[in-house]
Structure 1
Amino acid sequence: MRGRVVHDAPLGAQTWFRVGGPADTLVRPADADDLLLLLRALPAATPLTVLGAASNMIIRDGGIAGVTIRLARGFGTIEVEADGILAGAAALDATVAETAARHGLGGLEFLVGIPGTIGGAVAMNAGAYGTEIKDVLDWAEVATPAGLLRLTAADLRFAYRRAELPARGVVTRARLRATPGEPGAIAERLAAIRGAREATQPVRARTGGSTFKNPPGGRKAWELIDAAGCRGLSRGAAQVSAKHCNFLINTGGATAAEIEALGEEVRARVRAATGVELEWEIRRVGRPA
């Protein structure tokens, strides 16, 4: 491989929660060909984990077994087209939204409210402020052990916070539709979303974004958490945000185990108070300490 391979690689400082153990083997492929080489050669029994910005994730304190892939420089390109954006999987969602706005392309403003990368957004059908990736995706290229596939939104069978990727598939880039418009108006919408997020979410805290999916029926996870008396609830240095109670935060020195246990306590309290079983939106990967 031409990319970088590191064994026993620390990960905690790279996550938004700032917690978690090391990867047994961390691989940063140089480009799509390098990634395909790895996927073809990797034994099927070897555990495989893919990291994006590690913004919506808890890496457990015992670290991640097998091979962990993190796409970096060779996957961060953003190309502007007449009616859309072609973005590498490592491109930040907010950067894609800002690039589109500068070139007078609308419809992608919602991405500025999603703290992650395009690859992660495709893999989980990320959404914010009424729009999801499925609404703007033309196609995504996905590296698999069998080769590089170009898949449409229909192929990915998007659902709420979910996409059906091929086995051991890794998103490498995506083509997002956009609508030409007046740059000033697009910039205003971008600023409005950014302002709303700043006002209502603990964006400057060590957090992982929305912790639980909204349950069916139009109910909001944060409302159920608040009704169950969990706002400000803490375990060790992990805390339910008082600003937005569907966010868990590391107030300083929390472990992954404390954050995950706090989330499970919230789920238990909501279940007891409302009968609703909250489903994790944050990915939890790796081994306990």
Structure 2
Amino acid sequence: MAQNVQFLTVSEDEAGQRLDNYLLARLKGVPKSLIYRVIRKGEVRVNKGRAKPERKLAGGDVVRVPPVRVAESPEPVPISKTLKGVLDNAVIADEPGYLVVNKPAGLAVHGGSGVTLGLIEALRQAFPQYSYLELVHRLDRDTSGCILVAKKRSMLRYLQELFRGEKRIHKRYLALVIGRWPSRRNLVDAPLLRKELQSGERIVRVSLDGKPSKTEFNVVQRFGESATLVEARPITGRTHQIRVHAQHQGHPLVGDPKYGNEVFDLSVKKLGVNRLFLHAAGLSFKNADGEQVNIEVPLPAELQSVVAAFDGHFNQAGSVE
């Protein structure tokens, strides 16, 4: 469907964006190549003048957008009453600039690649009173726990900038790993390389060609020689970082279908292991006003049950330290 010429006024909340990124966000369904072509040909104007893709926009700028053909967007999959109820209870903080959501395991953060409805699409339907909702960061589909969702573009920029700097946002995870994690092994510093298989599946491996990656691990509770509950604090933010670093140390996560130990997981199925044992338990950072924000999300019931079952099974078996 072709649009007419549009004149878009950049809001203060949208200020600071590059022209190309601004158009990509506003012209959903338009191929990226077409957007760059109309900019290059001068059909896009900023305040009546030609502009380059990297031009930073200011509040009050008027952007002329020529008629472009926008692909028809499919109707979004409607959210179920059950999921609406889950999300109503999952919002643990509703601040002026952001939401903190306790994401359930099994829900992808966004749609695509065979996923018809992700967390962000569901939140937009569940909370239509918010005109702007965007993910600040991501969690793996099988990981539960706290995730930040921006309610304003300016807050999105602010929080994402914090995530880019080491130790400006502190993330804390709880994970159950196979075997006895040694007390002395606190820091794992191993570069990670992400590859995409022909099937489209993403796989991450430790590789000298990878990006620098660091995770701090600390022992929380041991279950004899069989398993250890650890706290993981990723210093960098690579895909599958905690899972691959734990595997690299010889202690893969319990219930991990990609990097785990299938034989061990089958042997403890009776103890309630039916998902990846990885939970985003906490975030801490300073908000835009300089105030310290500390977010804590306890283990969900199904993981608490696993901890209790491991404690009873392995410790009563006499394999405690």
TM-score by length of 1: 0.26
Taking structure 2 as the reference length, the TM-score comes to 0.24
**Greater helix share, 1 or 2?**
1
Q: Which has the higher contact order (CA 8 A, sep 6+)?
A: 1
